[in-house]
Structure 1
Amino acid sequence: MLLAVHPKLPMRQKHLTKEFYLQTLGFEQVGSDAFPDYLMVRKDQIEIHFFVFTELDPAQNYGQVYIRTEQIEALYASLVDQNVSIHPAGALQRKPWGPKEFSLLDPDSNLLTFGEQM
């Protein structure tokens, strides 16, 4: 029986990734900083893991996560109010396949897409 999935995404600098997810997106850290090359964060029912990849070229990063959410309009508004940069092609909109979605990039250009089924 499958219970959950925790994607593992690349990061170049742990302190920048940690700051973005904890301070900007409101995640909490899971575990300790005892492992300098690994980071785990959690918010509500999701958890994302990160591994250090110092040679990562953000322009060539294809890391992506689709995060299902509720109350997407409120989430979007709160991020815009905090001046979080929304992906240029990722403004909140109803997609032809049904959900409302928006996207943003983290400091390493991992694409985070948030979606709510309508």
Structure 2
Amino acid sequence: MAHETTIPLLPCRSLDDVGPFYQALGFEVTYRQARPNPYLALRREDLHLHFFGMPEFDPATSYGSCLVVVDDLVAIHRDFAAGMRAAYGKVLVSGMPRMTRPRVRKNYDGHSGFSIVDPGGNWIRFVARTAAPVGDGPTGRLARALENAVVQADSRGDHRQAARILDTALSRSDAADDPVVHVEALAYRVELALVLDQPDLARQLVERAGAVPLSQEGRERLAATLRHVAELARDLDQPPVPPPAPAGDPDRRTGR
């Protein structure tokens, strides 16, 4: 057979939690019912996600996950980030929901990826269809530590272990380390500090990242990362923005 379609069916505590979040990311509601069982169907182009509601469900204990392979990882991440900024005033990097940045994953055979952790605690893992060219990435002790930290946090959800790996590597960093890798490691450590609810440490790490001397070439290579760090620094001094409010009849069918 051919042309089969697989659609993940994921748990959540409330459809009113996941619905507005995904709509902020550009998804549309194609079906929704409240009775007899809460059910929500969402679509963004060819990507379909379905959810079932469980009032007693604890998102913090969720094992819900799915893999989404895409041609243009950067573009879809950029679109999601724009949707978050419009709905929440910033890109969510901590708490639930949140989104990681695209990074090469050692455990994905060189493919880049990022993850969304939605309000139901589900990990939606986006992966680039094409792997990065072999040998293009940085090498060295700090680079290897960063790769391992990304696996621990972005793939396994163990942010404390990732922080320990980076803290050890950064404490041993020396002049032999590539300054670009040094800034990337510090930028990632800022994100981990925010996930671990350590805002004061995050501010210190932002300052450390800004103090790393960079050549013009290094600044060009790090342009996206430097913008990200600057955005995180701004967000650290802003009050939290409430999530989008659910809209419409809780028992409805919609579609094109």
- Out of 43-52 and 84-93, give the one that drifted further: 84-93
Deviation at 1:86, TM superposition (A): 4.1
Corresponding residue of 2:118:
106
The TM-score normalised by the length of structure 1 is 0.84
How many residues of Structure 1 are paired with residues of Structure 2 in the alignment? Answer: 115
In terms of fraction of residues, the more helix-rich structure is 2
Describe the shift of the 1:41–1:59 C-alpha distance in structure 2 as closer, same or farther (beyond 3 A).
Answer: same
Corresponding residue of 1:85:
92
2:29 pairs with 1:29:
yes
Preserved contact between residue 68 and residue 125 of structure 2 (Cα < 8 Å): yes
Distance 1:85 1:66 in 2: 20
Provide Cα deviations, 1:27-48, integer angstroms capped at 9, x if missing partner: 11113x3x21000001111211
Identical-pair percentage = 28
Q: Give the counterpart letter for 2:123 in structure 1.
A: L
Corresponding residue of 2:52:
51
* 3-state secondary structure, aligned to 1:30: strand
2:50 pairs with 1:40:
no
Structure 1, unaligned stretches of length 5 or more?
Answer: none
Preserved contact between residue 12 and residue 59 of structure 2 (Cα < 8 Å): no
* 3-state secondary structure, aligned to 1:20: helix
Point out which structure has higher relative CO (alpha carbons under 8 A, 6+ apart). 1
Deviation at 1:114, TM superposition (A): 0.7
Preserved contact between residue 86 and residue 105 of structure 1 (Cα < 8 Å): no
Describe the shift of the 1:86–1:106 C-alpha distance in structure 2 as closer, same or farther (beyond 3 A).
Answer: same
Distance 1:77 1:48 in 2: 20
Structure 2, unaligned stretches of length 5 or more?
Answer: 131-256
RMSD over aligned CA atoms reads 2.1
The TM-score normalised by the length of structure 2 is 0.41
Q: Give the counterpart letter for 2:40 in structure 1.
A: L
Q: Give the counterpart letter for 1:38 in structure 2.
A: Y
In terms of fraction of residues, the more strand-rich structure is 1
Q: Give the counterpart letter for 2:23 in structure 1.
A: L
2:118 pairs with 1:117:
no
Distance 1:84 1:90 in 2: 9
Deviation at 1:89, TM superposition (A): 9.2
